[in-house]
Structure 1
Amino acid sequence: MAMDLFWAFLVGGALCAVGQVLIDYTKLTPARILTAYVVAGVALSAVGIYPKLVELAGGGASVPLTGFGNLLAEGVRESVDEKGLLGIFMGGLTASSAGITAAMVFGVVCAAIFRPKQK
């Protein structure tokens, strides 16, 4: 278990450190960096690297935005195998629907509890 925690911390920390370096030393906006992380997760999943990283690091690789990209890619791959061409449009949303729903529900709950002030 200690090695699992070590790898999760190392991989998740490395992903966060790369994001922080991009914020500090480039003119990329946070939105572009987040989008790049999702696209990187899709690309690494397409070549078969990201599933191995998830196997090694567990939550350290599946929780960051690159993990969301991997989830989208895996969902599309499975849906295309089952439904053919229509799976391209359905797979990513079907695979990530629970995470998207949770983000929306928690966002609404937080907005109802905490009243933000206008700046």
Structure 2
Amino acid sequence: MDYLYVFITGGILCLIAQIIMDNTTLVSGQILVIYIVAGVILTALGLYEPIVKFGQAGATVPLTGFGYSLVKGTIFAVKQDGLLGVLTGPLTATGGGIAAAIIFGYVFAVIFSPKTKK
């Protein structure tokens, strides 16, 4: 059943993004920012934690999960290091993912020589 919950949660998040793309003039970059900010806000309000408990990776892997990780990292670091944690917490919690995105983006750009869309 856990796999079903993960699939449903991730699918609903993707469905919402697709509906936004189909019915507005927003581009994918704008939706990316909306999803990250929504994850931050929902986590700060305590509303995203139940979604994570239900959907597990279906809720933590999409972009809203990145916002969730930012807030959780900040909260943990502030409890541990005080006000300095506001600056260090988000980067500590998400640094591995950010580094992987940069490295893999570079490697694939070198391998496949991307071109702009026309």
Moved over 4 A (4+): none
Give the structure-2-normalised TM-score.
0.93
How big is the shift at 1:52?
2.0
Aligned residue for 2:65? 67
Aligned residue for 1:100? 98
Correspondent of 2:52 among 51, 54, 67: 54
Mapped partners of 2:29, 2:106: distance in 1: 21
Mapped partners of 2:37, 2:115: distance in 1: 34
How big is the shift at 1:113?
1.2
**Are residues 1:23 and 2:21 paired?**
yes
The percentage of counterpart residues that share the same residue type is 48
Q: Which runs of 5+ in 2 are unaligned?
A: none
C-alpha RMSD over aligned residues: 1.2
How big is the shift at 1:116?
2.2
Q: Which runs of 5+ in 1 are unaligned?
A: none
Correspondent of 1:36 among 24, 34, 37: 34
1:33-60 Cα offsets, whole Å, 9 max, x none, are: 1111001101111122212211211111
